[in-house]
Every structure is written in C-alpha cells, then in structure tokens.
C-alpha cells in the first residue's frame, strides 16, 4: 500500500527513481512521473490502464522552465500563461524532442500547465524535470479530489501519495489549443470561458466533443464516470419514471425527500458545486443504489465544466460549438 504524507524529499526520491507519486493540485490529484522518462510514462499508462492514444498533461513550475521542452509559445498563449499561471489552465503547444512521443500520443504538441498548489510547486522546484500527471485514478473513473480517494483506487500500485488536502477547484483544468487567430477549447474546466475571453483577441471555439483520436485529455465520450449507470435529465420526471427505491439523486441545490441524495450546493454556488462534484459521484457510487439520476446546473462559468463532466459520466456526446458571449446564459444549455 502507498504511504501518504507531506515529505517532499521522499516524493523527490521516488520520482528520480522513475517511480510514480500522486500529487495534489488545485483541480484534482495527479499521478505524476518524470515527463522526460519513457520508463516512468509507461508506468503511468499501465497503472491507470489508460489507452496510449490519450495524451498526458505536463506540469512545470515556471513559464521559463516550460521553454526547455517547447518549440514555440504563440503570443496569445504567452499572454494567457502570464495571466493565469499558476492556475487551472492547460495550453496545447508545440513540443521538442525532450518530451517522449508517448506523452503526447505521437502528436507534435503537448499540454502544459503550472498547478496552483503550494506543495506541488515546491516539489517541482526541487526537480530538474517536469512531471507528466494525469488524474490519479483508474482510467475513465471519477477523478480524485483527496489523498484518500487516491489511496482507495491506486494505493496498492504506487509508493507514495503527497497529501495536500482537498482540492480547491475540484474539476480538471480548462484545455486550450491554438489555430492561427482562433483559440480552441478542447476541454471545459476550472477556468471559465468568461475569464479567458477578455484576454483572447480572436475567436474562441469549443471543440470538447468526444473522439477516438483525442488531441487533449478528457475528450473521450465516456469519462469521469461512476460504475453505476447515471442518467442526466429532469430529476422530478426521472423519479416519476423510475421511482425512488434504489435511486441515488445528484441535485444542484434542491432537496428530494425520501431519496438517497447528494446536493452539490444548497446556496446554488457553482464553485462549491464544482468542488463537491467528484466527491458526490463517489458517495453515490458507494451507496446502496442501482441507478444515479442527475440534473444539469446553470450552464455558465464553472457550470459548463460541471455539465461537461455529467454528460461524460452518462456517456453523452459533447457537440462542437462556437461560443457566443452575447447569448443569454439560460440559452446555453446543450
């Protein structure tokens, strides 16, 4: 079983030996290994049982450090990095040969970010290599937001879990790519589109659709999913259809008496709902229920990322769209 603690030197030792360490970030816990080492990267894929066509995100501690393994940083990407790093934002950028092709699934680009967690930043400062770090959970399952979640799922397969407490954001980073003047959103996440738009001079296009050949993590149709079936829709209608017996209810803010329920935010706070999402899915997945029913939250700000995770948890496709910031938020539901 893995040891859990806050010993940075111990984490450094394992990582220097091409072993894996679970690390905290502000989004979710990551399963980290030396991004320059194919041996370590192979262990990431095998430990998670992750398909090799799904690329990894590389974590570093400074923009200057990222330049060691990148070929180019477009002007807009540079502006976004300076504004939002450290933070829940991943940028897809051209890589050089220091990053093994296995990390990028054979692509000539790689996802890069600087995590906003003091413990992981201190860890990265102690290393002379960046860390490849997808979420620290079996592939396709609910992402971990505490060290305990990691222990329950991967504790038997890794030597150390760096415990940084509960994750502040609770959903994965937003992923952006660049195509000329167009900025492409490959994954909705912890950085809202409203925050990003004001720093992007051109068009912002959402392409977070499911694919069997992703250019970024988190694009597959079924992902972030509990083992029990999950249906997304109107909770009252679904309760009328399925009854209350053996049903787990995941609601945004409303209470449904006589049900096994997890409410994401009684005060309708989207940030609180995002922090609670993966915990709620785990709780209901472990509850004595046969089916989980859930509802969409308001589709703006962090609500878009929450809805994206719920759609994928129910194995629904996310369609390509061009985002219009003049559209009223209540009309944005997909």
* Structural contact between residues 264 and 200, judged by C-beta atoms closer than 8 angstroms: no
> How sure is the predictor about 71, in pLDDT bands with cuts at 50, 70 and 90?
very high
What is the set of domains in the chain, with CATH numbers?
Answer: 3-170 (3.90.870.10), 230-316 (3.40.50.11030)
Dump pLDDT digits (tens) for 269-297: 999 999 999 999 999 999 999 999 999 99
How far is 86 from 80, CA to CA, in rounded Å? 11
Owner of token pair 């167009």: 182
pLDDT at res. 106: 92
Arithmetic mean of pLDDT over the chain: 90
pLDDT exceeds cutoff 90 at 333: no
Residues 6+ apart with CB under 8 A from 159: 2, 3, 14, 19, 20, 21
pLDDT exceeds cutoff 90 at 330: no
- pLDDT average, residue stretch 196-218: 74
Dump pLDDT digits (tens) for 114-163: 999 999 999 999 999 999 999 999 988 999 999 999 999 999 999 999 99
pTM higher than 0.75: yes
Dump pLDDT digits (tens) for 223-246: 677 889 999 999 999 999 999 999
Decide: residue 139, CB within 10 A, 0-12 exposed, 13-18 middle, 19+ buried.
Answer: middle
pLDDT at res. 221: 52
Within a 13 Å sphere around the CA of 36, how many CA atoms are in the beta-carbon half?
14
Dump pLDDT digits (tens) for 40-50: 999 999 999 98
By percentage, how much of the chain surpasses pLDDT 70?
90
How far is 230 from 262, CA to CA, in rounded Å? 14
Dump pLDDT digits (tens) for 302-321: 999 999 999 989 874 333 33
> How sure is the predictor about 220, in pLDDT bands with cuts at 50, 70 and 90?
low
How far is 317 from 213, CA to CA, in rounded Å? 14
Helix H, strand E, coil C: the string for the chain is CCEEECCHHHHHHHHHCCCCEEECCCCCCEEEEECCCHHHHHHHHHHHCCCCCCCCEEECCCHHHHCCCECCCCHHHHHHHHHHCCCCEEEEEEECCCCCCCCCCCCCEEEEECCCCHHHHHHHHHCCCCEECCECCCCCECCCCCHHHHHHHHCCCCCEEECCCCCCCCCCCEEEEEECCEEEEEECCCCCHHHHHCCCCCCEEECCCCCCCCCCCCCCCCCCECCCCEEECCHHHHHHHHCCCCEEEEECCCCCCCCEEEECCCCCCHHHHHHHHHHHHHHHHHCCCCEEEECCCCCCCHHHHHHHHHHHHCCCCCCCEECCCCCCHHHCCC
Dump pLDDT digits (tens) for 161-188: 999 999 999 999 999 999 988 999 999 9
By percentage, how much of the chain surpasses pLDDT 90?
83
């Amino acid at each position: 079983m893995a040891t859990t603690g806050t010993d940075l030197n111990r984490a450094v030792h394992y990582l220097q030996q091409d072993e894996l360490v679970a690390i905290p970030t502000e989004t979710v816990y990551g399963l980290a290994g030396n991004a320059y080492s194919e041996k370590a990267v192979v262990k990431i894929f095998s430990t998670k049982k992750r398909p090799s066509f799904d690329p990894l995100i590389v974590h570093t501690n400074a923009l200057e450090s990222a330049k060691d393994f990148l070929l180019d940083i477009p002007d807009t990407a540079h502006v976004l990095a300076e504004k939002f790093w450290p933070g829940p934002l991943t940028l897809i950028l051209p890589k050089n040969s220091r990053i093994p092709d296995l990390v990028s699934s054979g692509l000539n680009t790689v996802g890069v970010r600087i995590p906003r967690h003091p413990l992981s930043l201190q860890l990265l400062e102690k290393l002379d290599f960046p860390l490849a770090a997808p979420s620290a959970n079996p592939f396709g399952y609910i992402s971990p937001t505490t060290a305990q979640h990691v222990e329950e799922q991967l504790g038997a397969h890794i030597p150390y879990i760096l415990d940084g407490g509960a994750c502040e954001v609770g959903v994965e980073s937003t992923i952006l790519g660049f195509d000329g003047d167009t900025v492409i959103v490959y994954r909705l996440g912890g950085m809202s589109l409203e925050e990003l738009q004001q720093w992007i001079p051109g068009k912002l296009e959402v392409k977070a659709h499911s694919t069997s050949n992703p250019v970024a993590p988190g694009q597959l149709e079924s992902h972030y999913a509990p083992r029990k079936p999950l249906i997304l829709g109107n909770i009252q209608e679904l309760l009328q259809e399925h009854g209350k017996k053996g049903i787990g209810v995941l609601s945004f803010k409303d209470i449904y008496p006589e049900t096994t329920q997890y409410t994401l935010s009684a005060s309708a706070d989207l940030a609180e709902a995002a922090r609670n999402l993966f915990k709620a899915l785990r709780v209901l997945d472990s509850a004595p229920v046969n089916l989980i029913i859930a509802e969409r939250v308001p589709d703006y700000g962090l609500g878009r990322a929450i809805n994206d995770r719920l759609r994928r948890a129910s194995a629904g496709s996310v369609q390509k769209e061009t985002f219009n910031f003049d559209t009223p938020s209540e009309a944005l539901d997909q």
